[in-house]
Chains A and B, each alone.
Chain A
Amino acid sequence: MALLETTGLTRLFGGLRAVDRLDLRVEEGEIMGLIGPNGSGKTTALNLITGFIKPTEGAVTYEGEDVTGSPPHDLAGRGLVRTFQITTLFENLTVRDNVLHGSHLDNPTSLIGALTRSRRHREQHAALDARVRETLAFVGLERRIDAVARDLSAGEHRYLEIAIALAAKPRMLLLDEPATGLNPEEAVYLMNLIRTLRRRGVTVLLIEHNMRLITNICTRVTVLNFGAKIAEGTPEEIVENEAVVTAYLGKRRGA
């Protein structure tokens, strides 16, 4: 059984078929690449899967259950967590608070505990704080823990975004162009990070334009063009696929 599956997933914007009858299967433990030219519907597909927008037609199945139209917070609660194409952080807060706010699902403290600062609460909070530090260490940001998020560099922004998503304890992580704004060195760091996540049992859906990243870490790749799937296979198969090459060279449908 696939961890995530979409069947006939379609979304219209006016007359535009942003996502067109997409069938996607992601098995547990995979790193699935999702590529395609600009405007081919990758982000829209991710928004549909994570409940940020509702499909015009079609269904999303997660863990074998129909979750079509479920709100994002419910899906996050089930382990389906996404990041955003445009860097999205709690800009005005410190790095630590960013991850603490991201830990909503992983925060066992009660209201009464917080008001009374009971011993139990302090223990729970200390443990949570330790997990926050661990997550920050994992993405290499532990030294920036007290910095305000907006003061970070572009690369650090991307890592912090991932740290926030990880704080939600994802079973499946959907990354929307996480390498944008990274220099080659930082991109390699990101690559290793995603690999490590996979080893820890996180399934990944990776939208990316950086083909080096895609060919290096993806187990399989799905290619979109004009909202529809035009190819699927291993990275090696994809780079040799004629339809894919044509799509990337910018030939229009019917031209």
Chain B
Amino acid sequence: MRLSSGIWVGAPTLVVALLLPLVLFTNPYNRGLLVLIVIYAVAGLSLDYIMGEMGQFSFGHAAFWGFGAYVSAKLALDLGVSPWIGFVAAPVAAGLVGLLIGYIALRRTRGLELAIVTLGFGVLAWTVALRWRPVTGGPSGLRQVPPPSIFGWEIRSELAYYYFALVLLLVVVFVLSRLRRSRFGRAVRSIHENEDLARSVGVSATKYYVIAFAFACSLVGFSGALYAHHFRFVNPNLLGLQYMFIFLIVVLVGGTGSLWGPVLGALIFVLVSEWLRVLQEYRFLIFGVVLLLVVLFMPTGVFPTMRRVIRRLVERRGSDRDANAPDADDRADRTRAG
């Protein structure tokens, strides 16, 4: 059931994703947008891990993203370390910091405390990136970050990097989907659903939440490294509110609690943002309003709301068939969303 429906959605989507740069996005600039979509999708998936799976919020998610970017860039520039090692070191470093932040914020309370502590971390990280010139390059950041290479061939072109990042996105989606049904994933979910009950059946709530948070930080750190080695620069903006805002839009437009949501959200965000380019900074005014409307009228996200509306229309038409027997997965989705 689940597998086949996954294939029916997944296979055509993949084909489209593979064909996009060959058909619609044919110039380097547009292909760069595709890379951005993939990178934002990974960041959105990791933020949704915190929001959808844990029911928490982090204001420091962009800071972890930028941190990952700086770590990988710095290693490559100063130590001449291969970007491949950076792709591992960035998530490890972001994960370790996440462990520390999570431990401070999640020991006793839920919700507000994590939001506040991560906000503090975000401001701190941004200030350090801006001021600690000898290491971070100050306001202008670091340039000439090298691209990764395979068998002596640099993944430099937008096309190559897109395919490369797409593979990694698929790996991330795959891991996340399996993680959900693992013992770890179930423990995290049970804490989100009902923490007292989870504790009563032996789940160490604090331990699992700290690890889950660190995992999400590590994932976004990885996304940051992907950014650094493609766009080949890092600067303090990456740690700032603008990207935090972008990741939040990606999650909320796509809808929390699903794996396709953030991917779709990233796609919509990048494309719409591109159409609104003439407006420059005023774009964010529009995004702000859109975000407000989404939160007010589609609290489960645009994608899930659309899906529900469509399903309701379909059900109304075919009501004499099986409208009253939605399958269990579907109902679980819907109740969770509600």
- Report which A residues bind B (CB closer than 8 A): 50, 52, 71-74, 76-77, 81-84, 88-94, 97, 100-105, 107, 109-111, 114-115, 117, 146-148, 150, 164-165, 167-168
B residues within 8 A CB of A77?
A: 202
Q: How far, in Å, is A115 (CB) from chain B's closest CB?
A: 5
Closest chain B CB from A45 CB (angstroms): 16
Stretch from B150-158, B187-195, B238-246, B298-306 at the A interface: B187-195
Smallest beta-carbon distance A102→chain B, Å? 5
Give the shortest distance, in Å, between B186 (CB) and chain A (any CB). Answer: 5
Q: Which residue from B190, B199, B204, B331 sits with its C-beta under 8 Å from A101? A: B190
Closest to A166 in B: B201
Could you say which residues of chain B place their CB within 8 Å of the CB of A164? 197, 201
Q: In the complex, A148 Cα to B77 Cα: how many Å?
A: 54
Determine whether B297 belongs to the interface, using a CB cutoff of 8 Å to chain A.
Answer: no
A32 vs B189: C-alpha distance when bound (angstroms): 34
A94-B332 CB under 8 A given contacts A88-B197, A101-B193: yes
| Chain A: CB-nearest residue to B193 | A90
Does the CB pair B193–A93 fall under 8 Å? yes
Query: Contact partner of B203 among A73, A114, A165, CB < 8 A?
Result: A73
For B193, the chain A residues whose CB sits under 8 A away are 90-93, 101
On B, residues with C-beta under 8 Å from A are 175, 178-179, 181-187, 189-190, 193-194, 196-205, 328, 331-332, 335-336
Known pairs A77-B202, A89-B197, A104-B202; list 8 more (Cβ under 8 Å).
A73-B204, A74-B204, A90-B193, A92-B193, A93-B193, A104-B190, A111-B182, A164-B197
Cβ–Cβ contact A52 & B328, under 8 A: no
- Can you pick out 25 interface pairs between chain A and chain B where the beta carbons lie within 8 Å of each other? A52-B196, A72-B200, A73-B203, A76-B200, A76-B202, A81-B201, A81-B202, A88-B194, A90-B190, A91-B193, A92-B193, A93-B189, A94-B328, A100-B186, A101-B193, A101-B198, A102-B201, A104-B203, A105-B201, A107-B186, A114-B178, A115-B178, A117-B178, A148-B335, A167-B201
- Least CB distance from A255 to B in Å reads 37
| Chain B residues in 8 Å Cβ range of A114 | 178-179, 181-185
| Alpha-carbon separation in the docked complex, A167 to B183 (Å) | 14
In the docked arrangement, what's the CA distance between A103 and B335, Å?
22
Q: Is the CB of B204 within 8 A of A71?
A: yes
Q: A72 to B182, Cβ gap below 8 A?
A: no
Let me know if A165 and B200 touch, CB within 8 A: yes
Residues of A within 8 Å of B331, CB to CB, are 148
A104–B182 contact, CB under 8 A?
no
Closest 9 interchain pairs by CB?
A: A114-B182, A76-B202, A101-B190, A105-B202, A90-B193, A168-B201, A146-B328, A72-B199, A73-B204
Q: Are A115 and B182 neighbours in the complex by a CB distance under 8 Å?
A: yes
Given known A89-B197, A114-B181, contact A101–B186 (CB-CB < 8 A): yes
Chain A residue with the shortest CB-CB distance to B335: A92
Taking each of B182, B196, B336, which has the highest tally of chain A beta carbons within 10 Å of its own beta carbon? Answer: B182
Measured CB to CB, the nearest residue on chain B to A76 is B202
B6 CB, nearest partner CB in chain A, Å: 14
- Give CA–CA (A82, B181) in the complex, Å: 25
Chain B residues with CB below 8 A from A107, complex form: 183, 186
Residues on A with beta carbons closer than 8 Å to the beta carbon of B184: 111, 114
- For A81, list chain B residues within 8 Å (CB): 200-202
Name the one of A73, A90, A100, A167 contacting B194, with C-beta atoms under 8 angstroms. A90
Partner of B332, one of A52, A73, A93: A93
Determine which of B175, B183, B194, B199 lies in contact with A89 in the assembled complex, contact meaning CB atoms within 8 Å.
B194
Instruction: Identify A76's interface contact among B175, B199, B336, CB under 8 A.
Output: B199
> Does B181 lie within 8 Å of A150, measured CB to CB?
no
Q: Which residues of A contact B187 (CB under 8 A)?
A: 101, 104
| Assembly CA distance A71 to B202 (angstroms) | 9
Query: Which residues from chain B contact A165 at a C-beta distance below 8 Å?
Result: 200-201
Q: Are B197 and A73 in contact (CB under 8 A)?
A: no
A90, A92, A103: the one within 8 Å of B197 (CB)? A90
Q: Which of B184, B185, B186, B205 has the most CB of A within 10 A?
A: B186
Considering the chains assembled together, what is the distance between the CA atoms of A142 and B109 in angstroms? 36
Q: Whole-angstrom distance from the CB of A62 to the nearest CB of chain B?
A: 15
Asked whether B332 lies within 8 Å of A148 as measured between CB atoms, the reply is: yes
Q: What residues of A have a CB within 8 angstroms of the CB of B179 in the complex?
A: 114-115
| Candidate in A50, A115, A117 with the most chain B CB atoms within 10 angstroms | A115
Residues in A with CB closer than 8 Å to B190 are 90, 101-102, 104
* A50 to B201 alpha-carbon distance, docked (Å): 11
Q: How far is the CB of B124 from chain A (nearest CB, A)?
A: 31
Is the pair B200, A82 in contact by a Cβ cutoff of 8 Å? yes
